[in-house]
A and B are shown apart, each in its own frame.
Chain A
Amino acid sequence: MKKTFFTILLAAAAFCIHAEIITDDVGRKVDVNTPVESIVSLSPADTEIIYWMGLESRLVAVSTNCDYPRATKELDKAGSFLNPDIEKITSYKPDVVISGGGIQKKAIEKLEKLKIPVLVLYPKDIDKGLIKDMETIGGLAGDIMNVKKRILEYRRFLSDASAESDFKTLKVYMEVWGQPVMAVGGKSFINDELKLAGGKNIFYKSRSEYPKITPEDVVKLNPDVIILLYKPEKNFKERAYFKLTKAGKKGDIYVLDNPDTVLRAGPRIPAGVKQIKDILERSEYK
């Protein structure tokens, strides 16, 4: 009797765990046995999504760059974002590794050779990219209802943070780095954040995510507001290509208080959108 019961139990377990083919953000088809029990996240943004979707109990290790939410500090570290520790990752025998893509290419190849499934999540916009990544990560636990609930909640936060439809659209220049001068281009999810906050990116036509631009382009496109996504030098407002724009003349040049909320494609984007929206409102009523 006991033997039959265990046989049925094993068969049921085998039925529940099934190999799923997931297409990641770079078009790779990855076999993952879901629901997963152990995840290693190598990307700070994806770690935040894992927490948002309520999968943190399955998180066995993260990268040293994963610093939000605070609870990540207690987790094991499997190398850094740029140098993932393959040996350590392998030692956890994770069901899946979540990678931030591109720069981790070598680590991804090594993990694939070791038969560890790696999902590359690198969204380029919010609607199709980030929401899909949330579905992918949430889906790893197999609880579809929870996935739907969390995404609905996320959309509500995003909509609450976004600008009213009658908000006057301002031309905005967002600078990612000043030496060399790099802007947010049209193919970045940050472009979407700006749109939601009621701004129009002056480099929305650029085909790359973060193009290296010439300063006179900024003058030519004459933004109403300039937002810096990094800590600049002391007298940054004195830069010639800032001073020659409408933004520079009015003094509408801002540095984000918490750039991670904007720079990480994760659940804190609504807070990032709100930061940008507040800046735009402040400058519009000046």
Chain B
Amino acid sequence: MTKKAVLYSSALFILLAACFAGALCLGSAPIAPVDVFRAMTNGGDGQTIGIINQIRLPRALFAALVGGMLALSGALLQALLKNPLVDPFITGISSGAAFGAACAIMAGASGLLAPSMAGAALAMFIVYRISLSAGVLNLIRLLLAGVMMGSFFSSLIMLLNALFSKDLIKVVFWLMGDLSNINPGLLLYSAIALFAAIGVAMYFANDLNILTTGEDEARSMGVKVEMIKAVYFSIAGILTAISVALSGVIGFVGLIVPHVVRAVVGPDMRLMIPCSFLAGAIFLLASDTLARTAFLPSEIPVGVITGLMGVPVFIYFMMKGRTQ
């Protein structure tokens, strides 16, 4: 286990570092790798230093953070709900966030972060409350409630569209997902939230492993089943809420990455948690670098790239699994 963990983590770290180097060196302004390195140590001309340290670096860090959050959230939910088709957006949280953002856009509010976080929190609370039955979190109900709340909030967005259609197009753009203009001041808070989530998730990882074999079995082995379910739903929900509020809805990451990681490292959550985070970070970082450089001078929505890159990889792993 330890040997495997070190091997996979090191390989993923090396890949992540390579993706970071690529993200910093590639962009619409041609900057040689030597100048990138110099700029990172505050050498060279002011414009290059600015582009590297204030534009490309924060964006790369956000891409990695959001990718890591979505993949981790997907991995936790898939394990918790024992359903490989679950992705973070099935919990209705993204629709709640979108509803918050839509209200803010229609009301002419300037910042979207707080309203989308509020919308996500509201959706999460409602889904959680609906799923509780006599103090027990019913996982099937959780899935249904998530899908239902997702539809409910989508309908509310459509209602807003019908009543005040002026700015709907901005909501649509926001929903497409975007990493181009995130406030760097939020980087630290997001990173703290993510690493705290990883810490808690790793602490209870073995309990989650046991829980995946069945609730009764877990209970008989002394696992505090209800607490574990609440903890992992909350972690997944909070990570999804933060990532959606930061960057809109970026699809496929939370569904595909945990699948691929599971196919390689196996179902043990002690490995799945760090590896999903790292693989998600790599996947979104690479996708975003492509999104902003492949069709210059225009940038394309990163969700297009995650779909185009992710689906073939997903199909490959599915086919491979079938032949095995």
Q: Which residues of A contact B (CB under 8 A)?
A: 64-65, 80-83, 103, 177-182, 203, 205-206, 208, 211-217, 219-220, 222, 231-234, 236, 239-241, 243-244
Contact = CB atoms under 8 A, between A and B. Distances in A.
Nearest to B178: A180
A212 B166 contact: no
Contacts of B300: 212
Interface stretch (B53-61, B76-84, B258-266): B53-61
Interface residues of B, number: 37
Nearest to A63: B165
Interface of B: 27-29, 46-47, 50-51, 54-56, 58, 108, 110-112, 161-162, 165-166, 168-170, 173-174, 176, 178, 180-181, 184, 248, 292, 296-301
A219 B301 CA distance: 21
Contacts of A214: 27-28, 180, 292, 296, 299
Contacts of B248: 179
Contacts of B296: 214
B174 A179 contact: yes
Contact of B298 (A208, A240, A243, A244): A208
Nearest to A182: B173
A31 to B, nearest CB: 30
Contacts of A219: 29, 47, 50-51, 55
B181 A178 contact: yes
A217 B110 contact: no
A244 B178 contact: no
Contact of B55 (A80, A82, A215): A215
Contacts of B165: 64-65, 80-83
5 contacts: A81-B165, A179-B180, A180-B176, A205-B297, A216-B27
Contacts of A217: 28-29, 297
B301 to A, nearest CB: 7
Given A81-B166, A177-B173, A240 B184 contact: yes
